[in-house]
Structure 1
Amino acid sequence: MSDDLCVEVPVAAAFRIRWAGAQWEADAAMALRRAVFCHEQGIFNGDDRDQVDDTAQLLVAVKCEAGAPEMVVGTVRIHQTEPGVWFGSRLAVHTAYRSHGKIGATLIKLAVSSANGLGCTRFLAHVQSQNVPLFRRLHWNVLAEETLLGRPHHLMQADLDHYPACLTPRVGLSTLGRSGT
């Protein structure tokens, strides 16, 4: 873990959103997904991992304190299903950081922008209905309403014109905010 990943921010916390690079980040992201999708929402029994995880790129939102990475507070994964077509899935933010308001949005921004930097021509996601307003604010359009895993979802597509290509996803993006709990 290098000190140049995060900057010290007085009174507020710094969050670095980037592609997961360290094993501890991947482990923490998977634990966060289990907490959200298995325990909190009860969508999966025990674990939410599937075959997509074998090829997906994992993104993390890491809370930084005193300039050092401290904990993963958000995650999402992206994967290409055919040349140019990418999907985002398993967006999860720790309960203590959901009111921050920028973590989920910044994860979405980096997910689409980094895929765009890899030649994405279409970026899609199956979005839980309660999250549709957030995605609409971020320039996504509803293509269809669906039921997945027994819950209402919307198949949505990002407007790539609002997501310039990110060619440095391992460095990622930063956002500031309240430190949470």
Structure 2
Amino acid sequence: MTRTAYRTRVAAGAADREACFAVRREVFVTEQGVPEDLEYDELDAVAVHVLAVRDDGTPLGTGRLLHGAAAAGRTGGDPAVGSLGRLAVTAAARGLGVGAALVRALEDAARAHGLTAMDLHAQTHALGFYERLGYTAHGPEFPDAGIPHRAMRRTL
């Protein structure tokens, strides 16, 4: 079986950001039925976006990091904690390790910003994925865009 060659990088420029948004549209809006007006928000303008692309440039996945004031609402106001979110991998790329590579790239970006921990809101079906990456769930289940979630955290 041939492995798909891909790389992750911090999104740079309008084309990369549009690739990130296209992946989110495919996964969250089209597949999961999240309303588009909930998927994109003002925090996209200040977030660090990470993109996974195949060697031919095809976008495979994305995620975003919020830090500082942008993360305060999700992290209890702790400036040393970032917020990982909007992690999405295209259906064609699932099972290739893209999601884990994106999480690690986001954690690297968080460390580069001086953060010491990362919070996230995981869809409950993805709890095991994040647990394997060192995240621990806390608090009750809650709905986000009509999808059950749990809060999780990992010390970096």
Query: Considering only CA atoms, is the larger Rg found in Structure 1 or Structure 2?
Result: 1
Q: How many percent identity over aligned positions? A: 31
Q: How many residues align?
A: 145
User: In the TM superposition, what are the counterparts of 1:1-181 in structure 2 within 5 Å?
Assistant: 11-45=2-36, 48-65=39-56, 70-80=57-67, 81-82=71-72, 83-100=79-96, 102-144=97-139, 145-160=141-156
Normalized per residue, the structure richer in helix is 2
- How far off is 1:146 after superposition? 2.0
Matches of 1:23 and 1:50, distance apart in 2: 16
- How far off is 1:137 after superposition? 0.4
Counterpart residue type for residue 86 of structure 1: G
Kindly report the root-mean-square deviation, in angstroms, between the aligned alpha carbons of the 2 structures. Answer: 1.6
Stretch deviating more after TM superposition (56-65 or 112-121): 112-121
TM-score, structure 1 normalization: 0.75
- How far off is 1:46 after superposition? 6.2
* Kept after mapping to 2: 8 A contact 1:38/1:46: no
Relative contact order (alpha carbons < 8 A, sep ≥ 6): 1 or 2 greater?
Answer: 1
* Kept after mapping to 2: 8 A contact 1:37/1:43: yes
TM-score, structure 2 normalization: 0.86
Q: Secondary structure at the match of 2:148?
A: strand
Runs of 4+ displaced beyond 6 Å: none
Matches of 1:71 and 1:25, distance apart in 2: 11
Matches of 2:13 and 2:38, distance apart in 1: 21
- How far off is 1:47 after superposition? 6.8
Q: Is the alpha carbon distance of 1:12 and 1:148 closer, same or farther for their aligned partners in structure 2, counting shifts above 3 Å?
A: closer
Matches of 1:76 and 1:45, distance apart in 2: 16
Q: Which 5+ residue runs of structure 2 have no aligned equivalent? A: 73-78
Matches of 1:91 and 1:116, distance apart in 2: 18
TM-superposition CA deviations, 1:27-71 (whole Å, max 9, x none): 111011111111110011467210110210110001004xxxx21
Q: Which 5+ residue runs of structure 1 have no aligned equivalent? A: 1-10, 161-181
